[in-house]
């Protein structure tokens, strides 16, 4: 008997029919011998509709009350799924995040899970019930108010519950079959990835792969929760996200790692360049402090070598397009005090990244990547690397060519499925 | 400074605009120096829509889950009202029934309030906030599950909160100006009633006056909470429901009570007659036990004198039309074992009642009422009386005539407002 957490997103519970379909799938899992906990998102567009209603009442809705309002969406779908399960003869109980013991920080709209006290869930599982938990929400430890974890954070709820319940694994149901070596819409030769490590998945998520929430992967890695990302519309196996050691139930595998496990891209960023910053200690810090104060997340930062003639330097950084307007305002406000020359803004860019734990032990990956891009006539803007990732910023209209070139260069094209942790070398 | 509980029903919060209107009214009350607690119903048709959704998922929705689902409606309107208040510069916090400390029995769909532990509300009031509580809901003392108090029970939530918070009074906002001496749609001479006792209001509610929930009036009487029923669309005074002693802030009034304070009618009942019940001890009890087991509420019961020739009797009773189908099924199932002859069913009836504490000390009211009905050519079916009420069942098409005749007979017609507790006799 396994203990499983199954998470279904809004697209899996759009209407009464799809809720009934999910109920059948959940009941099957229990009937095959599993203890089942379900984490569920709000139905289809419910959250957007509630947000519209809030904005009709108040242009800047009070954060505490917005959380109170938005959390009702998941409570509704959780209750409806429990009804559908009862109707099929199952025993099911729905719980709000608060009832399920999801204890969070007090930051409304973007709370962090501090602890989970799943006493009621354990009791219900002990009684043989299927437990359904409203995702995306918790209760503040200090104020006892209802909180939300930020959009899309039901994945995180699921993994956190799986960890605190010592579940064997967590299934994230979505509308695709899992992770691919590249976006199949760009790269027709992209292959399905049956397994990927936490570190690689984390880099993929950070580099624009939308399939799993970044925080969810971080949580899964920290707690060692195996995550199975799969389609709610088929029975095909999806992608397992877990440490390679656990591949064959604890027996360590001697394996030759593929150099690159996937190519990710992201068209959601813009680039800001601050031209002519006086090259004094602390100037860059002042700029980025001001940005951070407004809760704007910076991705890549590049600072050029100072021009000797002027003792001035240029600083470029990328950030989500949605934050760029605010960032430009903040920076313009600093122009006098910092004394830089001008601001340049460019949102016709894309970021292309290759990710793979194999590059740790294989030098020369960067060179191969850059050569392949050059041969595809792709001009590189900014460059940023981690131990298992290389990212470049390119012109927006070069993104597709860059993805295709990298995918071919690292041997990801082919007829068979990608086998990131294949037992034999290649 | 007064402490006030204000309750707004679904028709007062149909959309964003009406929520903003309610917010202004609530803020005015606080700005005039009151401590304000608001109890709110779900927006417009939300509860019906959620019920439809539940029925799409399951023909007989699990009661625990139905409560989980339906309670989200009030949580949404509570959060939206809090946002609207914040937007006007007020400080407001919304609470679920559970957060507000509304402790109930565990009967889903029809729970009773056992206790209120308003610690969080008191704290928020102490901080100067306007407190908004989602009506119609609480939390089960035994299971900690979310419960509902039955449709329309937000009135009861409001009065119960007023009692536990030692509020000075409870305002119930609705779409009419309060209580009238009869339904103005039937009786054009019906007058507004500025004040009415708990006992009279209780009889009026039980006799079909829809304006206040029966359980709410019972609660208000038991706890001595003055209730002000008034329109959310005007500033006119409504009807005060309270003990006459409290009329002028504690100074007892020597008053001459009107004989009758109002005429109520109810077209929502049907009559069932069980013909030829063997006149043995316990037969009637068996019949009504079986009815009660199915949670069917009986109103009036009349048993005729036994026919000497056959030792059989007829039993008639009235009940809500909505329950009559089930009741007929239950009774048909008893035909063999009880051995009655046949069942008669009639839903073309109406109940007309006169209510007034004055009749306690004035004999002859019954005679006057019956004579007035006879003169209006109204035929009496069943009759039932209490200390301050006389009810008769009449043909459905006689209801209007009966109401008009009674209204005229007891001097309720007139140009001025009815003054039930007038200082001078008449």
pLDDT over threshold 60, residue A419:
no
The Cα B267–Cα A358 span in angstroms is: 80
Distance from CA of A292 to the nearest CA of B (A): 27
More confident site: A416 or B180: B180
Question: For the residues B302-330, what does the mean pLDDT come to?
Answer: 84
Q: Which residues of B are annotated as a binding site for ATP?
A: 7-10, 174-175, 185
Q: A174 among the known binding-site residues?
A: yes
CB within 8 A of B366, min separation 6: which ones?
Answer: B385, B390
What band does B416 get if pLDDT is binned at 50, 70 and 90?
very low
Q: Are A57 and B20 an interchain contact pair (Cβ–Cβ within 8 Å)?
A: yes
- Give domain status of residue A54, yes or no: yes
- Give domain status of residue A421, yes or no: no
- Greatest mean pLDDT range, A288-302, A313-327, B93-107, B284-298: B93-107
Interchain CB contact of B186 with A (< 8 Å): no
Question: For the residues B248-267, what does the mean pLDDT come to?
Answer: 66
pLDDT over threshold 50, residue A310:
yes
Chain B residues whose beta carbon lies within 8 Å of the beta carbon of residue A120: 144
- Give domain status of residue B48, yes or no: yes
Distance from CA of A56 to the nearest CA of B (A): 6
- Give domain status of residue B73, yes or no: yes
Tokens of B183: 């339904």
- Give domain status of residue B203, yes or no: yes
**What is the reported pLDDT for B288?**
87
DSSP class of residue A135 equals: S
What band does A418 get if pLDDT is binned at 50, 70 and 90?
very low
The least confident of A103-112, B151-160, B259-268, B281-290 is B281-290
Window 273-332 of A, Cβ < 8 Å to B: none
Question: For the residues A262-276, what does the mean pLDDT come to?
Answer: 92
**What is the reported pLDDT for A156?**
93
Picking from B62, B72, B94, the nearest residue to A83 by CB comes out as B62
pLDDT over threshold 80, residue B320:
yes
* Mean pLDDT over each residue of chain B, to the nearest integer: 88
Q: A7 among the known binding-site residues?
A: yes
What is the CA angle A49-A50-A52, rounded to 5? 65
Domain count, chain B: 1
Q: A47 among the known binding-site residues?
A: yes
**What is the reported pLDDT for A360?**
78
**What is the reported pLDDT for A270?**
94
* Mean pLDDT over each residue of chain A, to the nearest integer: 88
Quick one: how far is CA B180 from the chain centroid?
15
CATH number for the domain spanning A95: value is 3.40.1160.10
What band does A1 get if pLDDT is binned at 50, 70 and 90?
confident
Question: For the residues B59-77, what does the mean pLDDT come to?
Answer: 96
- Give me the DSSP letters along B90-126: --EEEE-TTTTTEEE-S-TTS--EEEE--HHHHHHHH
Q: Please answer whether residues A112 and A58 qualify as being in contact, where contact means their C-beta atoms are separated by less than 8 angstroms.
A: no
- State how beta strands A312-320 and B137-140 pair: unpaired
User: What percent of chain B has pLDDT above 90?
Assistant: 61
Tokens of A372: 């392949």
What band does A251 get if pLDDT is binned at 50, 70 and 90?
very low
- State how beta strands A179-180 and A192-193 pair: antiparallel
Question: For the residues B25-40, what does the mean pLDDT come to?
Answer: 97
What band does A298 get if pLDDT is binned at 50, 70 and 90?
confident
- Give domain status of residue A318, yes or no: no
**What is the reported pLDDT for A411?**
80
pLDDT over threshold 60, residue B67:
yes
Q: Are A50 and B20 an interchain contact pair (Cβ–Cβ within 8 Å)?
A: no
The Cα A101–Cα B33 span in angstroms is: 39
More confident site: A384 or B123: B123
What is the CA angle A256-A258-A263, rounded to 5? 165
Cα–Cα distances in angstroms (integers) from residue B200 to residues A164, A418, B152, B319, in the given order: 57, 80, 20, 21
**What is the reported pLDDT for B418?**
43
Question: For the residues B76-93, what does the mean pLDDT come to?
Answer: 97
Distance from CA of A144 to the nearest CA of B (A): 9
Quick one: how far is CA A124 from the chain centroid?
30
- Give me the DSSP letters along B223-234: HT--EEEEESS-
Picking from B58, B64, B83, the nearest residue to A61 by CB comes out as B83
Question: For the residues A137-148, what does the mean pLDDT come to?
Answer: 96
What's the N-to-C CA distance of chain B in angstroms? 37
pLDDT over threshold 50, residue B406:
yes
- Greatest mean pLDDT range, A36-45, A178-187, B291-300: A36-45
**What is the reported pLDDT for A209?**
74
Interchain CB contact of B2 with A (< 8 Å): no
Please give, one letter per residue, the 3-state secondary structure of A392-413: EEEEHHHHHHHHHHHHHHCCCC
What confidence tens digit (pLDDT) does each residue in A327-344 have? 999 999 999 888 899 999
Interchain CB contact of B76 with A (< 8 Å): yes
What confidence tens digit (pLDDT) does each residue in B218-234 have? 899 999 999 999 998 88
Task: Supply the range of the domain harboring residue B194.
Answer: 3-253
Give which of A46, A54, A65, A91 to mutate to test B binding, by max B Cβ within 10 Å: A65
Q: State the count of interchain CB pairs (< 8 A) between A and B.
A: 108
Q: Please answer whether residues B54 and B69 qualify as being in contact, where contact means their C-beta atoms are separated by less than 8 angstroms.
A: yes
Q: Are B57 and A19 an interchain contact pair (Cβ–Cβ within 8 Å)?
A: yes
Picking from A64, A69, A76, the nearest residue to B69 by CB comes out as A76
Burial A210-245 (b: 16+ CB within 10 A, else e): ebbbbbbbbbbbeeebbbbbbbbeeeeebbbbbebe
CB within 8 A of A213, min separation 6: which ones?
Answer: A152, A153, A155, A156, A205
What confidence tens digit (pLDDT) does each residue in A126-141 have? 999 999 999 999 999 9
What is the CA angle B196-B201-B207, rounded to 5? 140
Interchain CB contact of A57 with B (< 8 Å): yes
What confidence tens digit (pLDDT) does each residue in B345-373 have? 999 999 999 998 878 777 788 888 999 99
Chain B residues whose beta carbon lies within 8 Å of the beta carbon of residue A40: none
Interchain CB contact of B105 with A (< 8 Å): no
Chain B residues whose beta carbon lies within 8 Å of the beta carbon of residue A139: none
Tokens of B52: 């439809």
pLDDT over threshold 90, residue B151:
no
Interchain CB contact of B374 with A (< 8 Å): no
Question: For the residues A7-15, what does the mean pLDDT come to?
Answer: 92
pLDDT over threshold 60, residue A35:
yes
Picking from A54, A64, A83, the nearest residue to B57 by CB comes out as A83
For residue A125, which phi and psi values (nearest 5 degrees)? -65, -40
Cα–Cα distances in angstroms (integers) from residue A94 to residues A83, A120, A260, B183, B347, in the given order: 9, 11, 42, 44, 41
- Give domain status of residue A258, yes or no: no
Question: For the residues B172-183, what does the mean pLDDT come to?
Answer: 90
Question: For the residues A33-52, what does the mean pLDDT come to?
Answer: 95
DSSP class of residue B160 equals: H
More confident site: A426 or B266: B266
pLDDT over threshold 80, residue A152:
no
Count Cβ atoms within 10 A of the Cβ of residue A87 and give its class: 0-12 exposed, 13-18 middle, 19 or more buried. middle
Chain A residues whose beta carbon lies within 8 Å of the beta carbon of residue B64: 82, 93
What band does B168 get if pLDDT is binned at 50, 70 and 90?
very high
Picking from B57, B62, B80, the nearest residue to A57 by CB comes out as B80
- Give domain status of residue A72, yes or no: yes
- In terms of CA atoms, which chain B residue is nearest residue A23? B57
Q: Please answer whether residues A301 and A317 qualify as being in contact, where contact means their C-beta atoms are separated by less than 8 angstroms.
A: yes
pLDDT over threshold 50, residue B394:
yes
What confidence tens digit (pLDDT) does each residue in A202-221 have? 888 888 777 888 889 989 99
For residue B380, which phi and psi values (nearest 5 degrees)? -90, 135
Strand partners, B167: none
Question: For the residues A195-199, what does the mean pLDDT come to?
Answer: 91
Interchain CB contact of B134 with A (< 8 Å): no
What ipTM was predicted for this assembly?
0.78
């Amino acid at each position: 008997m396994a203990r499983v957490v199954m998470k279904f997103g809004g697209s899996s519970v759009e209407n009464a029919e799809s809720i009934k379909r999910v109920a059948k799938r959940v009941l099957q899992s229990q009937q095959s011998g599993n203890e089942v906990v379900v984490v569920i998102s709000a139905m289809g567009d419910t959250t957007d509709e509630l947000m519209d209603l809030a904005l009709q009442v108040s242009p800047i809705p009070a954060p505490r009350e917005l959380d109170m309002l938005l959390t009702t969406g998941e409570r509704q779908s959780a209750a409806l799924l429990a009804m559908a399960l009862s109707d099929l003869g199952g025993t099911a109980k729905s719980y709000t995040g608060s009832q399920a013991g999801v204890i969070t920080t007090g930051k409304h709209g973007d709370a962090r899970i501090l602890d989970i006290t799943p006493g009621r869930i354990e009791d219900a599982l002990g009684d043989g019930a299927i437990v359904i938990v409203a995702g995306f929400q918790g209760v503040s430890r200090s104020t006892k108010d209802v909180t939300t974890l930020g959009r899309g954070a039901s994945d995180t709820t699921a993994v956190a519950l799986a960890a605190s319940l010592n579940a064997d694994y967590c299934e994230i149901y979505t509308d695709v079959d899992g992770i691919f070596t590249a976006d199949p819409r760009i790269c027709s030769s992209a292959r399905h990835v049956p397994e990927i490590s936490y570190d690689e998945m984390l880099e993929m998520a950070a580099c624009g792969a939308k399939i799993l929430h970044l925080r969810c992967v971080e949580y899964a890695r920290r707690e060692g929760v195996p995550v199975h990302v799969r389609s709610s519309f088929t029975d095909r196996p999806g992608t397992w996200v877990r440490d390679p050691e656990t591949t064959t139930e604890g027996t360590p595998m001697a394996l030759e790692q593929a150099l690159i496990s996937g190519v990710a891209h992201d068209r959601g960023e813009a680039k800001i360049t601050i031209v002519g910053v006086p090259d004094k200690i602390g100037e860059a810090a002042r700029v980025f402090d001001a940005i951070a104060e407004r809760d704007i997340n910076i991705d890549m930062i590049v600072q050029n070598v100072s021009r000797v003639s002027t003792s001035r330097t240029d600083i470029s950084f990328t950030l989500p397009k949605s934050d760029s307007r605010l960032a430009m305002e903040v920076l313009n406000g600093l122009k006098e005090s910092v004394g830089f020359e001008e601001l340049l803004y460019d949102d016709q860019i894309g970021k292309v990244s290759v990710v793979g734990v194999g590059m740790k032990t294989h030098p020369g990956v960067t060179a191969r990547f850059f050569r392949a891009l050059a041969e595809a006539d792709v001009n590189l803007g900014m460059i940023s690397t981690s131990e298992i990732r290389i990212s470049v910023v390119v012109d927006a209209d070069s993104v597709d060519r860059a993805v295709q070139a990298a995918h071919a260069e690292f041997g990801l094209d082919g007829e068979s499925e990608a086998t990131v942790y294949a037992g034999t070398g290649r």
